Structures are given as structure tokens and as C-alpha cells.
Amino acid sequence: MTLRRIAEQVPFTTKDGSTIRSILDLSNAPVRNQSLAEATVPSGVATERHYHRVSEEFYFVLEGRGLMEVDGVEREVGPGDGVLIPPGAWHRITGIEGLRFLCCCAPAYAHGDTYFV
């Protein structure tokens, strides 16, 4: 069994500008097909618009409110909302009220699969 406590994970900033604490991913577990992280985006801050060629992502909002944009479609999101971000979809999220959400990626998140152009 592999167990990771979120409180023990060191936060880092991803290429898109969000702050992440990896719960289970390639860096800290024998993960093969997916990753799970907690992300935070402060009020008034947006991640940089980007896409992933390979990874499919799910965002699940735990706290706060935000504006989620996927391929030009914007929706307000809040606690209990889940968002599917297909591979190749341009996306970003903006904090309206400090956001905290889970980010699940399959295959596992990798910096090299984040594109801005």
C-alpha cells in the first residue's frame, strides 16, 4: 500500500501558474496511469491558458468559486462541481473567491505535456 498525506506534500508552482500539492503522482508513488493533486488559485488570479496533448484532466472544486474556461466556453464553478478537460482542450481557471480543487490526470501529470502555443 502507498499512502501519502496531503499535509506532508511540498507545494510547487506548475507551468500554468497554479500552486499544486501532489497527493499521488510519478514523483512520490509507484503510479502508472494517473495522478491526483490539490491545486489552489487565489482570488483574482488566473492560470495561464494551456492544453495537454496526452492527459485527460478532471477538476473537482472543494472550496471557493472560479471561472472555468475550456475551449472558449466559460462557466462559473464552485464546491461540488466536477469539470472534464479532454486532451488537447485549451483551458484556464480564474479564482473569483480563493479556489481549492482536486486535479486528476490520466496519464499522470507531466510538465512536458503542458503547452502554451
Report the percent of the chain where pLDDT is more than 90: 88
Q: pLDDT tens, 10-53?
A: 999 888 888 999 999 998 999 999 999 999 999 999 999 999 99
Does 117 have pLDDT greater than 90?
Answer: no
* pLDDT score recorded for residue 33: 95
Determine whether 61 is exposed, middle or buried from the number of CB atoms within 10 Å of its CB (0-12, 13-18, 19+).
buried
- Output the CA angle 80-81-85, nearest 5 degrees: 145
Full-model pTM: 0.93
- The span from the CA of 41 to the CA of 20, in Å, is 9
